[in-house]
Amino acid sequence: MRTIDADLGVAAIVVQDGGILLVQEGQGLHQGHWGLPKGFVEPGELPANAVIRELYEECGLTGTITGLIGIREALRDSNPCVFIAYQVYSPTDNLRPNLDEISAARFFKLDELSELRWISDAMYLLAKSGLEASGLTSSIDFTSKLDYPYLVHLCGEA
């Protein structure tokens, strides 16, 4: 199998009481814009582990992946850029925003989404899909069976 370098990012879609968790960027190009809790996958890290780490680093929440909402793929300067949005269950809504990374975090209802300044149209669509998801996604962990990290995410019932 041939490998290539790629920009790999992840986002957590956390829905509680009919609202989706969003964060407001505190610095950089998208300062003041809203999006999902997100970040880059580090070397030696599974994307599924990265999304849980990012959720905790940005919002202070723990979570468990319950499925997959969507994937954004693009080419930038001939390099593939892939962004995976995972559906994540968090047992708590006790947000503790990391103000070094974001300026705010809160849950929004569907009718509030169109009024926000978004990082991108793709981020808006992923968030909207996360709120409208039917819950027919699943994740299966074969790690203990194979002795190395191996996850399968299915869109549809397993």
Would 81 be classed as within a structural domain? yes
Measure the CA–CA gap between 78 and 81, rounded to whole angstroms. Answer: 9
Measure the CA–CA gap between 62 and 101, rounded to whole angstroms. Answer: 17
Total domain count, the chain: 1
Domain of 108 in residue numbering reads as 7-155
Domain of 23, CATH number, reads 3.90.79.10
Looking at residue 154, its pLDDT comes to 66
- The enclosing H or E element of 57 equals helix 47-59
Looking at residue 158, its pLDDT comes to 41
- pLDDT string in tens for the chain (158-residue length): 788 888 999 999 999 999 999 999 998 899 999 999 999 999 999 999 999 999 999 999 999 998 889 888 888 888 888 999 999 999 987 999 999 989 999 999 999 999 999 999 999 999 998 998 755 466 677 888 888 878 776 665 44
Would 51 be classed as within a structural domain? yes
Would 2 be classed as within a structural domain? no
Would 40 be classed as within a structural domain? yes
Would 34 be classed as within a structural domain? yes
Looking at residue 14, its pLDDT comes to 96
| Residue 119 in tokens | 């990082």
Measure the CA–CA gap between 3 and 50, rounded to whole angstroms. Answer: 20
Would 1 be classed as within a structural domain? no
